[in-house]
Chains A and B, each alone.
Chain A
Amino acid sequence: GAGVSQSPSNKVTEKGKDVELRCDPISGHTALYWYRQSLGQGLEFLIYFQGNSAPDKSGLPSDRFSAERTGGSVSTLTIQRTQQEDSAVYLCASSFNPGLGGETQYFGPGTRLLVL
């Protein structure tokens, strides 16, 4: 694949339902990042994976949010019991080397989540 892909591109759900967002990083990239982008709020860091482990989960806003990565590739971000304030664009990025400093991150197009 040429770049980072995310699915679904759009998701509308009802308050209280669970949602799963998927990210396919660029092949060979060991680091994977999840961000949330709300209108006028910029990019909010959620979680970072190196391989299958998550050294930094500090950005997850509550215990309703979880993420996993399997096989050092695909990652899934799960939001349980969704709330209206969870509505945002969820962006995934990957980079060749781990670490948050000085490494080019390549972003996917995002999943637009709307919680009614």
Chain B
Amino acid sequence: QKEVEQDPGPLSVPEGAIVSLNCTYSNSAFQYFMWYRQYSRKGPELLMYTYSSGNKEDGRFTAQVDKSSKYISLFIRDSQPSDSATYLCAMSGDKIIFGKGTRLHILP
């Protein structure tokens, strides 16, 4: 079993829809959970960062961590074409592991 699993997509949704992106993991030692956004031909940039279980909201973005299920989510409300990118989950304890990324297309 891989340490981090993430559906690669692509995921296409209409503008204005709510987007749900997810990752599962197997290592219970992970304590920090992150979401990065990567535009084409750019490096990843940190979107959201959470520690332990719970929800964290930042504007249209909400990150959710469920440590009991080893499942994390990123929700994007009122999605915009500019949200079209690859979203990578990442988690760390003594080392950082990235998911493969989900390609998201917001259709105008």
Whether B42 and A43, one on each chain, are in contact in the complex, defined by CB atoms closer than 8 angstroms, is no
Whether B43 and A91, one on each chain, are in contact in the complex, defined by CB atoms closer than 8 angstroms, is yes
Among the listed B41, B49, B90, B100, which residue makes an inter-chain contact with A40, where contact means beta carbons less than 8 Å apart?
B100
Is B98 among interface residues, defined by CB-CB distance under 8 A?
A: yes
Distance in Å from the Cβ of A36 to the closest Cβ of chain B?
11
Chain A residues within an 8 Å CB radius of B32: 101-102
Whether B43 and A109, one on each chain, are in contact in the complex, defined by CB atoms closer than 8 angstroms, is yes
Number of chain A residues close to chain B: CB under 8 A:
20
Distance in Å from the Cβ of B63 to the closest Cβ of chain A?
14
Distance in Å from the Cβ of B11 to the closest Cβ of chain A?
15
Docked CA distance A109–B43 (Å): 4
Is B8 among interface residues, defined by CB-CB distance under 8 A?
A: yes
A-B contact count (CB 8 A): 54
Whether A42 and B43, one on each chain, are in contact in the complex, defined by CB atoms closer than 8 angstroms, is no
Whether B88 and A45, one on each chain, are in contact in the complex, defined by CB atoms closer than 8 angstroms, is no
Among the listed A4, A43, A56, A101, which residue makes an inter-chain contact with B92, where contact means beta carbons less than 8 Å apart?
A101
Chain B, interface residues (CB within 8 Å), range: 20 to 34
Chain B residues within an 8 Å CB radius of A110: 41-43
| Residue interface bits A15-43, CB-to-B below 8 A is 1, else 0 | 00000000000000000000100001111
Is B94 among interface residues, defined by CB-CB distance under 8 A?
A: yes
Contact (A43, B51) CB under 8 Å given A101-B96, A104-B46: no
In the complex, residue of chain B having the shortest beta-carbon distance to the beta carbon of A41: B100
